[in-house]
Structure 1
Amino acid sequence: MSGVHFTQEDRVAELRLDNPAKMNALTVEMLDQLAAHLDRIERDRGIAAVMLTAEGERAFCTGADINGWGDLSPAEFSRHWVRDGHRIFDRLARLSQPTIAVLSGHAFGGGLELAAACDLRVMAPTAALALPEAGVGIVPGWSGTQRLLRLMPEPMVKEMALFGHRIKSDRALACGFVAAVDDDPRAAALRLLERAVTLSPRAVEIAKTMIHAAQGEDRAAMVEALGSAAIAASDDRAEGVAAFRDKRTADFPGT
């Protein structure tokens, strides 16, 4: 049965897409499972990093299972399928922990958009990237025309979305979309994570938030998160909470 499986070794969580019969295409159930796993990971301070992998070597993920959206009405397609996917991919992008997508095989359509939501990507030499949506009469709907443009040159995105071309691993590496190309991309990802899990989790989280804010990744929420983190550590917050509980007027120290 297809699914998204969670495992953990030491401080690294692994999320594995498992639908190899359909080249790991995403179903509604898989999206729901991914969302639940991400919520679990966010709350677990014992997890320092996340690796997103897939079953088999033929494909990382070829996008959304057409059986999941092919018969939806236009309203259902835009209101639920597209928005739900966006919500879950955004959840991955904004995860506190650093994330790496392991592209052992092709990443097409929603699979490419899923990989783009991770902080880093490693790729097998034989894997390719594509946005094939126009071939079935639709457009990229899970950030392929938005987030992907912050990670790849505009002409390269157009080459995939408008001309139907595939991008090979050497070009993905040259433009910086992937951090490494390796015959064993999972091992390469683990090597990258070896150092990451030794760093200060809070410093990594704040650095990630700052970088995302600078790039426009939900900037308003990021700014408020940073401000809230700063005020949460203040003496004023402690005094305000204490005064509220004591039913007295607060005497803020201003520190």
Structure 2
Amino acid sequence: MNYQNIIVEAEGKIATVIINRPQSLNALNSQTIQELSDAFSELEADKNIRAIILTGSGEKSFVAGADIKEFSDFGTAAAEELARKGQSILFDKIENLSKPVIAAVNGFALGGGLELAMACHIRYASENAKLGLPEVTLGLIPGYGGTQRLPKLVGKGFANELILSAKMIPAQRAKEIGLVNEVFSLEDLLSKTKELATLISQNSPLGIAKAIAAVNLAYTNKGFETEIKSFGELFEMEDKKEGVAAFLEKRKPSFK
């Protein structure tokens, strides 16, 4: 399949999916989300592929966030549908894929970008990576699983600190709190990620599929539905309108 916003490469049993929107720091828009969904469906069906690496093009950004211009004028219903569809066709799909997906976080992983990395089964990061969930600066909350996956990875305290402060943390701090597994130089990131993918690809694919499913069952709850509804409701609020306007106008928001 031909893609406009992503590149899919296969080498032996390992596939690499590269988000390729360098002009926008690989920000996620609806087309990119759909292309990623299609690519992961194809790779899951490909019996030759045993492990998948997900990364961003260039040296600055994994995914800098969602494409805010695309949803800046949404209301509650449209925002809920945005979050629900994105979760269904991409974020939940990655988390529940029968083949392991390793995020190679090469630079900024913010908002939807960090949520995308958290949906992956394992995260490696480069030393220049910056990670964060800045949604509250827009009068919103993470809408692609951030409020659910982050506490499971780092605990409730660190999750609240990151979400409520909207601050970015460096890769080494992310490793300290369990948000990423390992940190490497930018030059070594992809090769080290491929080493792990190669190691995994030598193991039983059926055993790996069952292990992924079993691990995921340890974290089931109904919080995703609450997140989706809250995300949608905030789109009708003045804080969201001010936050998004300030972002687009490149100024600091003034919340009332």
Common topology (TM > 0.5): yes
Task: State the TM-score, normalized to the length of structure 2.
Answer: 0.81
Moved more, 209-218 or 8-17: 209-218
Same amino acid, percent of matched pairs: 33
Per-residue Cα deviation, 1:149-187 (whole angstroms, up to 9, x for no partner): 111122222222111211221121122221210002111
- 8 A Cα contact 1:180 1:188, kept in partner: no
Within the candidate set 140, 148, 152, 2:142 is matched to 140
The alignment status of 1:83 with 2:84, answered yes or no, reads yes
- 8 A Cα contact 2:151 2:158, kept in partner: no
- Report the counterpart of residue 49 of structure 1 in structure 2: 51
Query: Structure 1 segments of 4 or more deviating over 3 A?
Result: none
Within the candidate set 150, 155, 158, 2:157 is matched to 155
Alpha-carbon separation, structure 2, partners of 1:137 and 1:62: 18
Amino acid at match of 1:193: A
Within the candidate set 197, 201, 209, 1:197 is matched to 201
Alpha-carbon separation, structure 2, partners of 1:73 and 1:217: 27
Q: Which has the higher contact order (CA 8 A, sep 6+)?
A: 2
- Report the counterpart of residue 233 of structure 1 in structure 2: none
Amino acid at match of 2:216: H
1:122-141 correspondence to structure 2 within 5 Å: 122-141=124-143
Alpha-carbon separation, structure 1, partners of 2:156 and 2:173: 14
Give the Å deviation of 1:23: 1.0
Amino acid at match of 1:27: N
Alpha-carbon separation, structure 2, partners of 1:45 and 1:210: 21
Within the candidate set 182, 186, 204, 2:190 is matched to 186
Task: State the TM-score, normalized to the length of structure 1.
Answer: 0.81
Alpha-carbon separation, structure 2, partners of 1:205 and 1:127: 29
Per-residue Cα deviation, 1:103-138 (whole angstroms, up to 9, x for no partner): 110100000000001111111112111110111221
Amino acid at match of 1:195: L
Alpha-carbon separation, structure 2, partners of 1:2 and 1:25: 14
Greater C-alpha radius of gyration: 1
Q: Unpaired runs of 5+ in structure 1? A: 219-255
- For the residue of structure 2 that corresponds to 1:181, the secondary structure is strand
Within the candidate set 26, 29, 32, 1:27 is matched to 29
- For the residue of structure 2 that corresponds to 1:185, the secondary structure is helix
Q: Unpaired runs of 5+ in structure 2? A: 223-256
- 8 A Cα contact 1:124 1:185, kept in partner: yes
Amino acid at match of 1:151: L
- Report the counterpart of residue 62 of structure 2 in structure 1: 60
1:101-120 correspondence to structure 2 within 5 Å: 101-120=103-122
Residues 217, 116 of structure 1: alpha-carbon distance in 2 compared, 3 angstrom cutoff: farther
Alpha-carbon separation, structure 1, partners of 2:75 and 2:42: 32
- For the residue of structure 1 that corresponds to 2:165, the secondary structure is coil
Q: Alignment length, in residue pairs?
A: 217
- Report the counterpart of residue 237 of structure 1 in structure 2: none
Amino acid at match of 1:194: T
Give the Å deviation of 1:216: 2.1
